Amino acid sequence: MTAPLLEVNNLTTVFGSGRGPIQALRREPAVSVRAVDDVSFTVARGELVALVGESGSGKTTTAQSLLQMIPVTGGEVLFKGQDVSKVSGRALRALRQHMQVIYQDPYESLDPRYTVRRTLEEPLLIHGIGGSRRERADIVTGALERVGLTPPDLFLDRYPHQMSGGQRQRVSIATALTLEPELLVADEPVSMLDVSVRAGILELLDDLRDSGLGILMITHDLSTAAKYADRIAVMYLGRIVEVGSARDVTRDPRHPYTQALLSVVPTPARAGLKRQVLTGETPNAAHIPSGCRFHPRCPQAEQTCQATDPVLGVVPRGAATHEAACLRLADLVPAAAGGDDTTPV
């Protein structure tokens, strides 16, 4: 089997504000925020991996670290076997041709002064692709058609404010596609769009995945992840607490956090089900609880959970690719593996 497109190993990103002389005098500890703490996962070609979590989970920071928009503190990011967390300058710019980002806010991600044509041409001009105007025009029209903005001529001369949110998001995707990237990082690509428009964008990402792109999708919406992702990684406070195929994670969740999350997702089909509403909120990443970071809110927590920090391990009586980081995995195996009693779905 070929190496995965993207391989993240032990990624750690720490934001430290350090301390100035005054703080040192006052003996205040340096504030350091471990936004991403020892995170590992892979994305293969033609695979859509969803990184799911609430705010403070570190999912966005992880995505930004991949492209070096935020400096990486530790670990490695291997893109096609090459560690890209340490490159800079020209190499980094060249790399950015292969890894593209789709942002959450369709209303802010396009320069309001640029027409669609100019926005789409920009990456080509930056990287020197398409020698003549004719060639570039072909690439641009091709990209527009690929994202469903047809006929392309209708859109080329439009300004962002003349388009709906969904159309703008498609333009963003088209812009990314002009560079023929191999990996797309989609940061909450539909959360700011109207419900009726979301499926269109997600189907587009689905098509792109089918055509061979690797896609890492950051989202807080488990339902979307369940439907479109091949694999799901659930993050909590900088760690991946559960990872596996979308089916396994959503139908047979083993980590108490995943279970709680799934139970509160509104499902009209099973409107009467008991929700497991956790108390409190995700703590600040500057004050990560000792032992298992989830233990203060965990309905299944025991003494050991306060002391020991669990690592990801294959879940008992489950798929080999299904892992969770919980000390009580063995105790909490559902009656029939595949989930009936403990799982709400």
Site for another protein in 166-205 (CB under 8 A): 167, 172, 175, 179, 188, 191-200, 202-204
Task: Decide whether 40 or 129 has the Cβ nearer to another protein.
Answer: 129
Binding segment for another protein (CB under 8 A), chosen from 74-82, 136-144, 264-272, 317-325, is: 264-272
Regarding 223 and contact with another protein (CB under 8 A), the answer is yes
DSSP-based three-state secondary structure for 30: coil
Task: Decide whether 64 or 73 has the Cβ nearer to another protein.
Answer: 64
Select from 139, 94, 99, 132 the least CA-distant residue to 117. 139
Burial of 28 from C-beta contacts in 10 A (0-12 / 13-18 / 19+): exposed
Subset of residues 3 to 42 that bind another protein, contact rule: CB under 8 A: none
DSSP state for residue 322 in the 8-state scheme: -
Sketch the per residue contact string, 103 through 132, with another protein: x for CB under 8 A, - otherwise: xxx-xxxxxxx--------xx--xx-----
Binding segment for another protein (CB under 8 A), chosen from 33-41, 102-110, 287-295, 305-313, is: 102-110
DSSP-based three-state secondary structure for 218: strand
How many residues bind another protein, per CB under 8 A?
Answer: 82
Give the C-alpha distances (Å, rounded to integers) separating 25 from 20, 21, 30, 100.
9, 6, 12, 45
Q: What is the closest distance, in whole angstroms, from the C-beta atom of residue 240 to another protein in the complex? A: 18
DSSP state for residue 162 in the 8-state scheme: G
Q: Is the peptide bond before 316 cis (omega within 30 degrees of 0)?
A: no
Binding segment for another protein (CB under 8 A), chosen from 8-16, 101-109, 209-217, 330-338, is: 101-109
Sketch the per residue contact string, 130 through 159, with another protein: x for CB under 8 A, - otherwise: ------------------xxx---x---xx
DSSP labels, 219-288: ES-HHHHHHH-SEEEEEETTEEEEEEEHHHHHHS--SHHHHHHHHHS--GGGTTPPP-PPSS-PPPTTSP
Subset of residues 283 to 302 that bind another protein, contact rule: CB under 8 A: none
The binder of another protein chosen from 14, 44, 67, 337 (CB under 8 A): 67
